[in-house]
Amino acid sequence: MKQLTVMHKRSMNLLGSTLVAVLFMAACKVAAPPALPDVKPLPPEFLPKTDTSASMMDSTSAGNFHWDVFYSDSLLLELIDTVLKNNPDQQIALQRVEIMNQLVNQRRAAFLPSFQGVLSGGLDRFGEYTMNGVGNWDMNLSPNLSKEQIVPNPVPDLFVGVRSHWEIDIWGKLKAQKKAAIARLMAAENGRRYLTTQLVAQVASLYYELAASDIELDIIQNNVKLQQQALEVVKVQKEGGRATQLAVQQFEAQLYRTQSLEWMMKQRIVSIENQLSVLANQYDQPIKRQKFSFQDITPSPLPVGFPSDVLLNRPDIKEAELKLQAAKSDIEAIRAAFLPALTLQPMIGLHTYNTSKWINPESLTWGILGGLTAPLLNRRQLKADFNISTAEQKIAFNGYQQTLVIAYNEISTQMNNWSNLSQQFYLKEKEFNVLSTAVQTARDLYVGGYANYLEVITAQKGVLDAELELVDTRLKMMQAKVDLYRALGGGWQ
């Protein structure tokens, strides 16, 4: 009998050792983290200069200016503030940040043990030919038991107390999950900032377009008056035999064309105002704006700073980079999930089968259970999770690379756009001045009989188009300044 007991103990020890070995062998089969390609290097012209003086001169970027410093128009500042407070997309972005913040709180709480208050009761009736039934009956015959300790049949099972579960983060799984959650929180915040830069730029661009439309409407209305006067002159000349009906019809047709432009411009103003109302999440209403002349505004070039620094400070690039970091942390957490997990399960409470002794210090019980658990049959599911996270990491990497390339090209485009528009405006201004003189010349020649009415109409049409194009070019310069400010990452501060 003693020999059988020794053999039984050896068998149990061998079984336990085998189980531990299986757990650790299963845990050792963890896939290596995937390697990612290198990020494409930036072009040399986007890297900091080696010359110290040039570096000091180029170190300031307009993208670091707050939007209420960058823009000086008080009505525009008021409009931007209204949009940022009321815009639905902005409110949605804020709630996404809050969701990510709560996920971080969840991951932090995972490091702490969980506690559950338990109040439970049960009733079991054991058969006479069962282990528990015979054992309880035999035990009740013991002289060591008091009357209160006799086990009844059926037997109650009463418990009130606290149970706990605590996973010890020995492999860093919980830490990696927390890192991923924090990275996604910061990514959501940078996503909100990027949305803010877009909204600020969109409001400013539409505001300047609205101001330009006011100026173009004034230009068209002034031309309508001048063409009405010219039509009256031609009618008088026709009555005096110095002009034909065809001349009257041509001047009249030109007047109708310009009047139709007036209504088209009025509709354009309504459309822009409604776009701004939508951004501000309000029903259509007139937009207050400054009345100014674009000829009085000479936008100066913006300080760019180091383009490489600007790129890395843009909210959308930070967002993409943080998403990539979160994907890497997800892979770390899944790799740690392949390893054995150490859990502790302490408990304390009042546990008895005697109802009269339930709420009594004599029924106090406590204990702790600890163990290592490793995945065996569900490793295929973990492998699938690992493969999914690997694919998501590659998606995040390509998204980061794409965002970097797009940002580079945006800055490059807007920097060239400004210089090209400046040259275009210089030539358009010359064209307008020449055509303005030509109109008066054509009128004088027509009155003197040295030019025909078609030359006058052509000159009037040319100067109207040139003046509208001059305003449009100035508008594009103002919008190019807005777009460059946005491309430099300005507007969210």
pLDDT in tens, 224-268: 988 888 888 888 878 877 777 887 888 888 889 989 999 999 999
Side-chain-side CA neighbours of 135 within 13 Å: the count stands at 5
pLDDT tens profile 370-394: 887 777 666 788 888 888 888 888 8
The strand pair at 341-352 and 114-124 is best described as unpaired
Query: Would you call 218 helix, strand, or coil by DSSP?
Result: helix
The values of phi and psi at residue 281, to 5°, are: 60, 50
Say what the pLDDT of residue 440 is: 78
Supply the mean pLDDT for the chain. Answer: 80
Say what the pLDDT of residue 78 is: 93
Residue 51 has pLDDT above 70, yes or no: no
Q: Nearest-CA neighbor of 487 among 313, 355, 271? A: 313
Least-confidence region, from 53-57, 149-153, 290-294, 339-343? 53-57
What pTM, to 2 d.p., does this model score?
0.79
Residue that is written with structure tokens 């009594």 in the block: 360
- Mean per-residue pLDDT, 55-76: 75
Residue 274 has pLDDT above 90, yes or no: yes
**For the chain, percent helix, then strand, then coil, each to nearest 5?**
70, 10, 20
Give the H or E element holding residue 471.
helix 453-487
Least-confidence region, from 199-203, 260-264, 337-341? 337-341
Q: Which residues contact 460 (CB under 8 A, 6 or more apart)?
A: 223, 226, 227, 230, 254, 439, 442
> Angle 426-429-432 (CA atoms, 0-180°, nearest 5)?
155
Say what the pLDDT of residue 202 is: 93
Confidence tier at 54 by pLDDT (50, 70, 90): very low
439 close to 463: Cβ distance less than 8 angstroms: yes
- The CA distance from 227 to 230, in Å, is 5
- Mean per-residue pLDDT, 184-189: 92
pLDDT tens profile 278-287: 999 998 888 8
pLDDT tens profile 96-143: 999 999 999 988 988 888 888 888 888 888 877 777 777 777 777 777
Say what the pLDDT of residue 53 is: 38
Confidence tier at 209 by pLDDT (50, 70, 90): very high
Say what the pLDDT of residue 294 is: 62
Say what the pLDDT of residue 11 is: 47
Give 15 or 203, the one with higher predicted confidence: 203
- Mean per-residue pLDDT, 412-441: 82
374 close to 384: Cβ distance less than 8 angstroms: no
Work out whether the CA dihedral 40, 44, 46, 51 comes out positive or negative: positive
**Which DSSP string do the residues of 87-128 spell out, in sequence order?**
-HHHHHHHHHHHHHHHHHHHHHHTTSPEEEEEEEEEEE---T
Say what the pLDDT of residue 15 is: 46
pLDDT tens profile 159-178: 899 999 888 888 888 898 89
Amino acid at 360: N
Strand partners, 352: 158
Give the H or E element holding residue 161.
strand 155-168
Say what the pLDDT of residue 187 is: 92
Strand partners, 343: 167, 371
Cβ-in-10-Å burial (0-12, 13-18, 19+) of 311 comes to: buried
386 close to 328: Cβ distance less than 8 angstroms: no
Give 347 or 147, the one with higher predicted confidence: 347
- Mean per-residue pLDDT, 280-298: 77
Taking CA atoms, 361 is separated from 117, 123, 163, 454, in Å, by 18, 22, 18, 114
- The CA distance from 221 to 227, in Å, is 10
- The CA distance from 290 to 179, in Å, is 49
